[in-house]
Chains A and B, each alone.
Chain A
């Protein structure tokens, strides 16, 4: 009972924080149907701003800046207001131009905004934790309930604040004129405009309030756990989104309920399940995945939110932007298009150039970098099958990559070498068996994970795949016997052919290049057939595809399988190329990065993923020569985020959009022309 009571109390505190953040997601989703992933980062900003305002001085950008040293309530108020303003600015810059764009665009932008805010926060406040200052209330002795449950005064304050804030918001939404206008805009934007509601301003208000709530949750979290950190908003953000979906996104009581359930389940799960603390992150996502499968609308939500507009990113060529900007895009595009139009000769030419470069580049350092370009290009190609061709946003792709990597590592290191004492060079051929095996295993997993997502569309699909990806990562961290957990697996042998080691950077580059040729060839063959036509038809208009006799559910699974196969296949090589893997390699951020590379290069093209990977990875290295970047390496990620937002707003079709790939079999057309 004592133990249970204490867990219950912890769960309530956590639940209150989740609920407050969930309100932010739900409010904005309700009004504009946007999952603003960046609320996790606004949560973090709330924590940082409050902490900073309470301190006498703070190190910002490496210099000590005097701060006012406000008491908590004033600092909190200041932080909430500032974060609210930031939320409005973000909406104005990154989301409002995309109000009528296909659903994928604002979703990707919100992920990019997340990356920007997180990188900027790290630049400003540094990579270290900022300790939450001591203050009077926190020094009071804890309240003891039933002689056994210890609650600090601040725990009670957190719960009380959450209750007051949510009741206040509910009252505001129910009674005030602006609240009514919000509900009206949520129900029917056109009708709202017709009765004279300035919908854009109402949306801005929703962002302001939502961001304020996220900030409030963040500062309470920082107070409870005693620190602020640039990545602190990531997991609570996902959990809060889970809570919002759990309760039924769009519903404020739902958000409260979802937050509470999640907080309690996590606290109790951590307390009672064997090794529960380690698995508590997985609990939330299992709950999420299960719920989305059984009841996509959430506990209190409505089913129509599980929908996506028609059309892909490629459909909407934007006319926005300054003249020079459009001119630059057009120039790049034309260049890539001319190249892509050449088809197979161009691909062979590119391969030849890559071979020449690989032969001539003297530096091992640069060869390693180029190998990474090829690896990321291949992975992005795999993701491109599902996102770019079939048009399904997949935030769990890293799981397939991880499966391939772990399969080969476990076989070579844990099973053969350590259990049976077999030297890797004796079984060098196993790598070549593992490549397709890893691919097949990942493809199987992809179908397994894809099946329950078939009923989901748009935002919910993204959220569910994200849940899957996180579950796989948590499993990789915690299934110690199989994966060695966070320590990772060391000593994975370098690739080897007939006993000749291919471990040198140059050999590895050529190995990667050969695999890339296989991947691109196979993907291209599939895409340039009735299968690819079915995928693109699903992407462009699922209903119309179905009406033309395409069994869309089956073809979505094929896309998952193909994408998963590439992920697993490349994953096998990745492990041997790095010779060390750990769960850190397969984080959600990697998935987001891959997605950004595909978008950067151009969704639904063969060359796009490689263009994206080349630009990004080479930039990542070259920028290190800049003194500013040396001091703040994370600003590179902020820049990537900014580039992506600019792309989404001004050129959603990506850099290489005109490199549109043909969807008919090359040979079949050649014959016809003759």
Chain B
């Protein structure tokens, strides 16, 4: 098959076929309804929506964290606070530890 000749024929066929310029009934009225029914452009709208979504996410994260903190076993909380306390007051409670190795 002569592909180049086929291409030429098919292109000629496409040229001969002019697409219809028919416009559906009341098309312009539908477009106008869409345009006039649109909310006015609000430059702060984007930021407002974004911040509202972020606030919702923050509240959700806060609730999850609160739930985790409330249902955590009590022993862990004590251990953590005790660990912090011991670390802070280690030098005060056990002054001899500072003198280890200070031999004359």
Is the A/B pair a real complex? Answer: no
The interface of chain A, by Cβ under 8 A from chain B, is: none
